[in-house]
Structures are given as structure tokens and as C-alpha cells.
Amino acid sequence: MGDRESDMMALMCKARDLGYPADYLVRSQHNRVLPNGGKLWEQVMGQTPLGRIRFLLPAGRGRKSRTVE
């Protein structure tokens, strides 16, 4: 698990090269350029979703509660 500025591209490439399957949750504020020259958001949105999760996000910090997916 990584958060802001925890660039783990080398780790992800190494896991792929060693044949270790992994699932990733990618949060991104910017549409980053990928090593192959493509863009992150286009690559991700072009994939078939593995599933969906819906839950109630509670109110907080000036935000009303709402259902998110």
C-alpha cells in the first residue's frame, strides 16, 4: 500500500517480471504518463472492471453524507 508520492513503479514492474500476481488500488489526481508513453486514466478506463463496491460515505469536514460507488 502506498499513499502520496510513494512512486512504486519499480516495485510493480519487478512483481510483474517475477510473475507475481497483484491487485492495485490506484488513486490519482493527475493523468500521469506511463512508461510506454500512454496516459494512466485512458489505460485504466480501457480495462474491464473486476467488480463494484457501493457504500455510504459519512458526512465530515463540510461534506454531506452520500452513497458512492
What is the pLDDT at residue 2?
64
SS3 string of the chain?
A: CCCCCCCCHHHHHHHHHHCCCCCCCCCCCCCCECCCCCEHHHHHHCCCCCCCCCEEECCECCECCEEEC
What is the pLDDT at residue 66?
96
What is the pLDDT at residue 15?
85
What is the pLDDT at residue 50?
84
Averaged in consecutive runs of 10 residues, what is the pLDDT profile of the chain (69 residues)? 67 86 78 91 91 94 94
What is the pLDDT at residue 59?
96
